[in-house]
Amino acid sequence: MSLPFLVTPYYRRLADAHPALARQITPSPLEARTLPYETADPLADAAHSPLPRLVHRYPDRALILVTDRCAAYCRFCFRRHFTASGASSLTPGQEQAILAYLREHPEVEEVLLSGGDPLMLPDTRLAALLSGLRALRPGLVIRLGTRIPVVLPARITARLARILAAARPLWVVTHFNHPAELTPEAHAAVEALLTCGLPVVNQTVLLRGVNDHEETLAALFRGLLRWGVKPYYLLQGDLAAGTSHFRTPLSRTFDLYDRLSSMLSGLALPVLAVDLPDGGGKVRLHRSSVVRTDETWYYLQGPDGGLYRYPREEHLYEREDDPS
C-alpha cells in the first residue's frame, strides 16, 4: 500500500524554505523500489502481537498502536503498512482487551504509546486511555512517541499538557530530525510539556540527504539540549519497503558517529542504535557490534545472542540517485 501525501500548513511552510525538510515529506518514485531484504513489517511486530494493536516483544515492555493517523506522513516511515491503513483509532473493545492483558502481565514495567501519532486522539479519548493505564499500577512507566511538536506544535495546549502530566510517570519522546525544525513554535510546545513536569527526550532517525552530516546533527542535538530535551536515540534506518534511498551505509554511519562523539558532550550525544531485522530487537550500535562481515552483510548480535543480518549498502550510496 502506498503511503499518501499529508502535511500540515505549518510544516509545509518550513519545508518550502528547507530542502532537507521537504525531502522528509515529499513522495519519491524511489518508494516504489523494494529491495529483496526489505519488508512491510521490518520489526516483525505481527510476530510479537498477542492482541490487535498490542506488541509485546520484550518481557518488561509493551507497545500499543493507538491510531494509524499522523498529522504529517514521513516518507521514511517504518510502519507504513499500518500508518494511514484505515485502521483508525483504538476501539473501546480493543482498549479493554489490552488493559486486561497488561493487568495479567505484571512483568510489564513500561508501555509505549505509538501508532501513528497518539496525540492525534482527541483530548477526552487520550485522557481516558491514560487513566486506564494509570489505574493498572502506580509505578507503570508510560512513554508517548510523537512528532506533533515538530509538525503541528499548536496541538500542544496547556490542557493537553495537563492531561499528560496527570498520567505521570510519563515520558514524551519527540522526533526532531533537523535543526530547521527547532522553531519558536516548536520550542513553545516543548516548553509547555516541560513546565508541567513532563520529561522530554528525543529520538532522531539518521536520514540520507536530510541529516547525514555531523555538523547538522550536532546543531540539532545542541539545540535540543538548550531547550531541556535530552537527545536519546540516533537510529539507523530500518529495512522498510521503499525506504532504501533514506538509509546510510553502516560503515558511513560509524564514521559519522565517531566524529559526533568527538564534538559533543555525553549529555548532548544520543545513543546510536538499530532495530534488528526479523524482530531481533533494538541494540546499541558500535563497531564491536559487528561480529563478522562478508561482501553482502553485516552480522550483528541481538539481545538473544543470535546473529542478525544487516545489508551492506555502500553501492546504493554511490548511485546517481544519491541526493547528498
Phi/psi zone of residue 38: left (φ > 0), alpha (ψ -120 to 50 degrees), beta? beta
Region 293-300: what's the mean pLDDT?
Answer: 95
Residue 217 lies in a domain: yes
**74 labelled as ligand-binding?**
yes
Inside any domain, residue 88: yes
Q: Is 53 known to be catalytic? A: no
Please give the tally of structural domains in the chain: 1
From 37, 58, 299, 317, active-site residue: 58
Find the CATH number of the domain harbouring 272: 3.20.20.70
The letter for the amino acid at 197 is G
Residue 133 near residue 99, CB atoms below 8 Å? yes
| 286 in a structural domain | yes
Is 275 one of the annotated active-site residues of the chain? yes
Arithmetic mean of pLDDT, 136-165? 98
CA distance 317 to 315: 5
Q: Which residue has the higher pLDDT, 64 or 316?
A: 64
How many CB atoms are located within 10 Å of the residue 319 CB?
A: 11
Instruction: Dump the DSSP string for 14-61.
Output: HHHH-HHHHHHHS--GGGG---TT-BSSTT-TGGG-SBTTEEEEETTE
> pLDDT category, 2, cuts 50, 70, 90?
confident
Q: Do the domain assignments include residue 308?
A: no
Q: Does residue 42 form part of some domain?
A: yes
Backbone angles phi, psi at 287, to 5 degrees: -60, -35
pLDDT, tens digit (0-9, with 9 covering 90-100), for 180-229 = 999 999 999 999 999 999 999 999 999 999 999 999 999 999 999 999 99
Active-site choice (282, 299, 309, 312): 282
Domain that holds residue 208: 9-290
Q: Per mean pLDDT, which range of 52-66, 162-176, 286-300, 310-324 is the poorest? A: 310-324
* Residue 252 annotated as catalytic: no
More confident residue, 132 or 80: 132
Rounded to whole angstroms, the Cα distance separating 186 from 154 reads: 8
Average pLDDT over residues 264-274: 98
196 annotated active-site: no
- For the cut 90, the answer to whether the pLDDT of residue 322 exceeds it is no
196 appears as a binding residue in the annotation:
no
Share of the chain above pLDDT 90, in %: 90
200 is a domain residue: yes
Q: What is the mean pLDDT of the chain?
A: 95
pLDDT at 83: 84
pLDDT of 80: 82
| Segments of the chain assigned E as strands | 54-58, 61-67, 110-115, 141-146, 170-174, 200-205, 230-235, 271-276, 281-284, 290-293, 297-301, 307-311
pLDDT at 85: 74
Assigned domain for 1 exists: no
Q: Does residue 128 have a pLDDT over 90?
A: yes
Instruction: Give yes or no for residue 321 having a pLDDT over 60.
Output: no
Q: Is residue 319 part of a domain?
A: no
pLDDT of residue 319: 59
Can you give the pLDDT at residue 318?
A: 62
